[in-house]
Amino acid sequence: MEFKEVVLKRRSVRKFDPNKKLDSKIVRDCLELATLAPNSSNMQLWEFYHVTSPDKLKKLSNYCFDQNAAKTAQQMVVLVTRKDKWKTRVRWHVKMMEGKFGKKKWEDYSKRERFAFTYYKKIVPVTYADFGGILGWIKYLFYWLIGFFRPIYRQARHSDMRVVVHKTQALAAQNFMLAMTDAGYDTCPMEGSDTLRIKKLLGLPFGAEINMVIACGVRLPEGVYGDRIRLPFEEVYHKV
């Protein structure tokens, strides 16, 4: 399909056809496309749990309050943020750059290469590092003071960085859902869930957070609840 066709066809489907099965490989391919979404500093602080086990699907449906999309889903995907893995991702980036640029003396790197190393070795750690929320507030106040004199990045608190990783995961979610539509499948993103029980079901650590659960299947006609309704574009569009 053309991109506009995909966007127009994608709907949040609440009832899926029980007789039409999904090809797990196609769903996996769509998740691989999801990982090509833009994300903050290319840190990729996300994970995707593709649930196909009937037993786990039943439990996951219950943890999503047995809403119709969850009850009738052939498969589900749990999108997880992993802010707690930022150090691992930094090391991965540094290793990748060393492989690309080579290991040499600092002065032998180009200006662009030195900036890349500085960004991941110093700037990213300063941005993500926190100790019980205290360091985040110290950074926030420090940047706020600098902000009196020049533009400065202000999202320094723990809560701010949580927003960053959830935005990143949401971008991947949209990639996934559009890819599924293009493949002839349907989806329904669900925020209503017991995230603590889902974390236990998937064996996730404390630092992981559930972004959303996406139910997957092939739509029934009654699975689309009415026409798509949006505010008049003029209410949300501002040309500056």
pLDDT in tens, 67-112: 999 999 999 999 999 999 999 999 999 999 999 999 999 999 999 9
Task: Check residue 4 and give left, alpha or beta (phi > 0: left; psi -120 to 50: alpha).
Answer: alpha
**Is residue 132 scored above 90 in pLDDT?**
no
CA angle 127, 132, 137 (to 5 degrees): 55
- Considering the domain 3-84+160-224 in this protein, what is its CATH number? 3.40.109.10
Element (DSSP H or E) covering residue 8: helix 3-9
Q: What tens digit of pLDDT does each residue of 182-203 get?
A: 999 999 999 999 999 999 999 9
**Residue range 37-66: mean pLDDT, rounded:** 98
Q: What percent of the chain has pLDDT over 90?
A: 97
**Is residue 133 scored above 90 in pLDDT?**
no
Distances (CA, A) of 238 to 56, 88, 228, 233, 235: 45, 40, 22, 9, 8
**Residue range 148-154: mean pLDDT, rounded:** 95
* Confidence (pLDDT) at 238: 98
CATH 3.40.109.10 placement within the chain: 3-84+160-224
pTM, entire model: 0.94
Structure tokens at 41: 């500093």
**Residue range 169-189: mean pLDDT, rounded:** 98
**Is residue 131 scored above 90 in pLDDT?**
no
* Confidence (pLDDT) at 173: 98
CA distance 111 to 116: 9
Q: What is the mean pLDDT of the chain?
A: 97
Closest CA to 10 of 191, 214, 236: 214
